[in-house]
Amino acid sequence: MTLETYLNYLRKSKLIPESRLPGLVKKFVQGKPRSEVNLPSFSKYLIDQKLLTPWQHQKLLEGRHQGFFLDKYRILGLIGSGGMSSVYVAQHTLMDRKVAIKVLSQSKVNDSSYLGRFYAESRVTASLNHPNIIRAYDVGNESGTHYIVMEYVQGEDLQHRVERDGPLELLPAVNFIRQAAEGLAYAHRRNLVHRDIKPANLFVCQPGDQVKVLDLGLARITTDKTSLTRLHNENMLGTTDYQAPEQALDSHTVNHLADVYGLGCTFYFLLSGHPPFPEGSIAQRLMQHQTGKAKELTDIRPDIPPAIATLCHRMMEKKPQHRISSTEEVSKLLSLWLREKGFRFRSHLEKPAKRKETQKPTPTQEVTPPPEVAEEPNREPLMQFLDSLEAAQVSSDRTRIRRMRKSSQLDTSKTLISGKKDSQRKAAEEENTIFDEEPSQMGAAPTKISPDSSLKPTPVTSKDEEE
């Protein structure tokens, strides 16, 4: 391509205002011999002046002069692409702020499943605001090109880092998983399940090594009964090497524990350099996730502490109820371990919500505000089981006390009734026994009235009187 043709494409692209081009060319050729006035040197000059990017220059060399602008954004370069979409780095034409723009592939625009999921991702991402989750700023459609404007960060995903450098050192790997767990815990508290946690979706920003969770395109809102995946009968979602066993069977009903499993497999990948089950076809690997057992991390890397290896394997338990109870619990356990090793960091776990404000007291009242009660963290299943036993014991004790009180009341009633009957019986006997204490004129002894005597007195005499 000649310099003249290149300038023609550059003029049509509007990457540089047409009014500036003559002045730029004049400044470029000034003082240079004719042999140095060529296309490579001119393009290098524009790139050095930050008027063009290498990606833009390459597109112009290919004869393309369209597609450099999307609404109010100027496309600077390609970050990456996949089967569903491509991600570009762009710059706001007025604010000069760099952003990442995710563009839905033109081959997927007419598919209602992909288009609906694309806009669902924009809504889900826009609803989240956490340092460990990528943010979304805008969504739009420009002449049939559907796009999401997101936060732009520099760095690389963990998939590329491990493929380039091999297994990570222990402390950075633990810290990366801790940060990802914090971001996921935030999403889970808002009824969102990612369903596609893997190394490629954990982005490490530079500088600072801050982890951000990417790609919420498969996220499931647990309170939404009309999900797109169910509507389009999409049962197999996620990535085979990091997919939870229950998700392979039914992706519509999985909860946050599927993300715990995916994060555990990602942790395994960072420490070992490969997924838990790296060999075999897709069907064979899916079966291994259902029934197989991953090789012990301590056998692969003896430098891994047993506590970290055990935690990773517990995150990958086949049955959801046997796993670590939540990503928040994972983050807390890893935070405790890192602090014991002297690793300094700032946690972004959500603070407990404050109590609602009570009615303000009148000037004559003195009200002591109730103390703030911190939200109790999720506990291990064993602790939950012990708590349930304790609650059952307390309930049993209360029931036993009520029964004892009731029994005591019954015994008291019985005693009162028995005492009353004894009094009545004694009174009856006293009525039946009459002693005549008045002596007769003949000096006879007192008489006794027998119950069988039909009230006829029978004299009682002494032995001397009988004689």
Query: d(Cα 90, Cα 70) in Å, to the nearest integer?
Result: 9
**Residues near 351 by beta carbon (within 8 Å), at least 6 away in sequence:** none
**Residues near 24 by beta carbon (within 8 Å), at least 6 away in sequence:** 16, 46, 51
Catalytic residue among 48, 71, 196, 215: 196
Q: Which helix (H) or strand (E) holds 258?
A: helix 256-272
Is 224 assigned a catalytic role? no
Which residue, 9, 8, 100, 20, is CA-closest to 58?
A: 9
Structure tokens, 209: 């090594």
Q: Look-up: residue for tokens 């997924």?
A: 275
Q: Which helix (H) or strand (E) holds 333?
A: helix 327-340
Query: Dihedral, CA atoms, 318, 321, 322, 328, nearest 10 degrees?
Result: 110
The identity of residue 355, as a single letter, is R
Task: Tell me if residue 93 falls in helix, strand or coil.
Answer: coil
- The answer to whether the bond into 207 is cis (omega within 30° of 0) is yes
Q: Which helix (H) or strand (E) holds 28?
A: helix 21-29
Query: d(Cα 217, Cα 196) in Å, to the nearest integer?
Result: 9
What are the start-end ranges of the E strands in 143-257? Answer: 145-151, 155-157, 192-193, 202-205, 210-213, 220-221
Catalytic sites, residue numbers: 196
